[in-house]
Structure 1
Amino acid sequence: MGSEHRHAPLPIHGVAVLPQGLEDIGSQELQALGAKQITPLRRAASFESDMACLYRLHLQCRLPFRLLREMARFRCDGRDSLYDGVQQALDWERWLHPSMSFRVDVTGTAPGLKHSHFTALQVKNALIDRQRDLWGKRSSINLDEPDLCLHVHLHRDEAVLSLDGSGGSLHRRGYRAAVGVAPLKENLAAGLIRLTGWDGSTPLTDPCCGSGTLLIEAAAMALQRFPALHRNFLLESWADFEPDLWNAEQQRAQKRQQPVDNPPRILGYEQDSKIAQQARDNIRAAGLEEVIEIVEADFRDAPAPEEDHGVVVCNPPYGVRLGDSIELQELYRELGAVLKKDYGGWDLWLLSGNRELTGALRLKARRRIPVNNGGLDCRWLHYELNRRLR
């Protein structure tokens, strides 16, 4: 037994890169999927896992941009120590054959390494020189579709070398060929829905649904649909990839998916016919056309819902990128009026990037959760709408 214990695999140290403001709820998602020793960080959360859990996170997580697997950390106080540290960090003969392409992503700084492009060049040179020593030939660089994606994080006098298991950002689900003018990233939308506590047991409505991202992420969450099941992952080309374990985790995710025999009622309104069609195209691409209904109409013309309780989610224009300020003031004022009149007893969650416009709703927020949306400082606001009088 002691011998078995000595040979037990070491835990994998990883980092989930998250939207700013979703660090805590992102940590909860990691924990729910089996990760251990989770620590929320700024725009990230660190964790420990075994290989099965790491595969599970890639397949089932909705909130991270990326999942990074730490492979080595070493002292880095300049260009030379970075070069030497990278060469010695891994058995490159096993991990990066010249037939494979690679990419290097860099975050952070160290003495003499203040620019990410320059740092990435030093990492690339270290790897290529090592390959030439081993084989007399080198890998090519592929920024778009590499076989191996390396991530180097510099902080103070230390470098952390990690592998990116996906290569491309996990927020890209694959269903959204068509987006509106100021799109909401899919993983942020998923996090916002999770913060509402909506579980599919009550109706969900978006009065200004745009290309439908909030509705799609809500439906996918309620039905346990995992878009990552349909994508290719760079981890499948890692030297220690375990196909049987990977297949088992894929089957595990597939078994969690719910049938559409009793779907939640999910409804979106969009007055622009072109954008409404974009929403329908995205919904169809996500395989959720049986679950989500898009009505081409102005929310002001929509009938009041029959249900006494539900959730309204909304990401109206902020006036930063879209719309004229006076027109938007009127939009918010009328949105508030319609919600108070027709949606009494419902919960409203609204993403605001403009306090002045939000004031035009004439509603008092119960919660204000800071989030970052495409570089904009926003608040995910929760309102309880007073019950309607019959």
Structure 2
Amino acid sequence: MKDFKMVAKTFFGFEEILAKELQVLGAQKVEQGTRMVSFVGDTGFMYKANLSLRTALKILKPIHHFRAVNELSLYKGIQSIDWSQYLSVHQSFVVDVTLHSDYFSHSQFAALKTKDAIVDQYRDRFGKRPNINKDFPDLRINVHIQNDQCTVSLDSSGDSLHHRGYKTATNIAPINEVLAAGMLLLSGWDGQGDFLDPMCGSGTLLAEAAMIACNIPANINRKEFAFERWNDWDNELFDQIMNSLMKKTREFHYTIKGYDKAPSAVMKAKDNIRNANLDEYVSISQANFFETEKETRGPLHMVFNPPYGERLDIEMERFYREIGDTLKQHYPGTNAWFITANIEALKFVGLKPSRKIKLFNGKLETRFVKYEMYEGSKRTKFQNNDNH
């Protein structure tokens, strides 16, 4: 099988962990960019990347690169590709365009020009044309224009890879699965200890934490990938890769727990965990975090997504102060991480974060912060160390 270049798209701030994921999977020539990482592999590796990568949103396969400064050069560049290699007359396609260019101002317009160039090629050669299908196309074409450079790729993923397939129920402010997985990996979660999400909402962080802990491929529950409709789709190879990935899953000997004070959220989270076949690893109960205390003896790894006040009506100052107080008084021996778009509110936590990482949740700029809660006071910890 021939190797080819691919591009994995991701969120701002996750480029390094995605590159690391790719290296661990066995990708070659891994290079980080902005919100993307490029790499080299064969068709089997493309299947494997789509199944396994936790922090990728899409895997693209570039097929052509040219210079485009106006609609004519875009049209000609698209026409220079032999589209019959990828798409028969009876199939359907859709075009997605990303623009960072002074030469083109509207992505819709560039998408229309691309479609015209493709359709005209089929009309000239075969006297008929493939259809456009926005929902279930046989081929998803991605056009990326950066200044005057145009890259045309086939989208091997289809729907964004954050659609893992286990979520049927969400609550008012669900967190994107790729964002959740990236936060967990940034926090150093590796499944070697107990985990708690004290404000678990619809259970996304819990599901992703369990899949990381057990080394279960991120997209094992997905219904379909775009490459399954490609002309060169190899079902047997796909099954082989799926089986070899499933052989690498591992046992988990700690606890993963979630709390939420809303009964409806607890029900939804339980449904989603069940859909992901993770209920033997995850337990969820109804509880108000501010009335709880640490239940486990060893170190605890905590990651959560508190309400931002964007969509939920709460008194921010008091709420964040209670987070700090609860951690300080009831959660010794805990590494607590949470994400917030309310950067002002962090002042009220009353603890000094040991890490602060800038991320985006959709359009919202956020901080992902870490608080280290020591057993006893911090001072005694260091005195103890001095005595050894």
TM-score range, shorter chain: over 0.9
How far, CA to CA, are the matches of 1:240 and 1:308 in structure 2? Answer: 51
Q: Please tell me whether the aligned partners of residues 337 and 368 of structure 2 are also in contact (alpha carbons under 8 angstroms).
A: yes
1:147 aligns with 2:110: no
1:71 pairs, out of 44, 48, 63, with 63
How far, CA to CA, are the matches of 1:36 and 1:360 in structure 2? Answer: 46
1:371 aligns with 2:359: yes
**Percent identity between the aligned chains?**
38
State the one-letter code of the partner of 1:50: D
Q: Please tell me whether the aligned partners of residues 10 and 56 of structure 2 are also in contact (alpha carbons under 8 angstroms).
A: yes
1:306 aligns with 2:293: no
* Cα pair distance change 1:133/1:47, threshold 3 Å: same
How far, CA to CA, are the matches of 1:154 and 1:356 in structure 2? Answer: 37
State the one-letter code of the partner of 1:246: F
User: How is 1:108-123 mapped onto 2 (pairs within 5 angstroms)?
Assistant: 108-110=99-101, 112-123=103-114
1:347 aligns with 2:313: no
* Cα pair distance change 1:101/1:358, threshold 3 Å: same
1:328 aligns with 2:316: yes
| C-alpha distance after superposition, 1:32-55 (max 9, x if no partner) | 111222222221112222222222
How far, CA to CA, are the matches of 2:218 and 2:239 in structure 1? Answer: 16
CA drift at 1:80: 1.3
Structure 1 vs Structure 2 CA RMSD: 1.8
2:155 pairs, out of 154, 157, 164, with 164
CA drift at 1:110: 4.8
How far, CA to CA, are the matches of 2:308 and 2:188 in structure 1? Answer: 24
CA drift at 1:93: 2.0
* Alignment-derived partner of residue 243 in structure 2: 251
How far, CA to CA, are the matches of 1:229 and 1:135 in structure 2? Answer: 39
How far, CA to CA, are the matches of 1:47 and 1:108 in structure 2? Answer: 22
CA drift at 1:147: 0.6
* Alignment-derived partner of residue 34 in structure 1: 26
State the one-letter code of the partner of 2:220: L
1:381 pairs, out of 365, 369, 384, with 369
| C-alpha distance after superposition, 1:87-144 (max 9, x if no partner) | 212x322211121111100011556532100100011111111111222111111111
* Alignment-derived partner of residue 270 in structure 2: 280
Name stretches of at least 5 consecutive residues in structure 2 with no aligned partner: 381-388
- Secondary structure of the residue aligned to 2:284 is strand
Q: Please tell me whether the aligned partners of residues 341 and 388 of structure 1 are also in contact (alpha carbons under 8 angstroms).
A: no
* Alignment-derived partner of residue 208 in structure 1: 199
1:25 pairs, out of 11, 14, 17, with 17
Q: What is the TM-score with the length of structure 1 in the denominator?
A: 0.92
| C-alpha distance after superposition, 1:287-311 (max 9, x if no partner) | 1111111110111222432313111
How far, CA to CA, are the matches of 1:386 and 1:111 in structure 2? Answer: 53
* Alignment-derived partner of residue 41 in structure 2: 49
* Alignment-derived partner of residue 4 in structure 1: none
1:219 aligns with 2:207: no
How far, CA to CA, are the matches of 2:158 and 2:134 in structure 1? Answer: 9
- Secondary structure of the residue aligned to 1:229 is coil
User: How is 1:263-278 mapped onto 2 (pairs within 5 angstroms)?
Assistant: 263-278=253-268
Deviates more, 1:289-298 or 1:244-253: 244-253
CA drift at 1:221: 1.1
How far, CA to CA, are the matches of 2:51 and 2:29 in structure 1? Answer: 20
Name stretches of at least 5 consecutive residues in structure 1 with no aligned partner: 1-7
Q: Please tell me whether the aligned partners of residues 201 and 264 of structure 1 are also in contact (alpha carbons under 8 angstroms).
A: yes
How far, CA to CA, are the matches of 2:101 and 2:187 in structure 1? Answer: 40
How far, CA to CA, are the matches of 1:279 and 1:36 in structure 2? Answer: 38
Number of residue-to-residue matches in the alignment = 377
* Alignment-derived partner of residue 83 in structure 1: 75
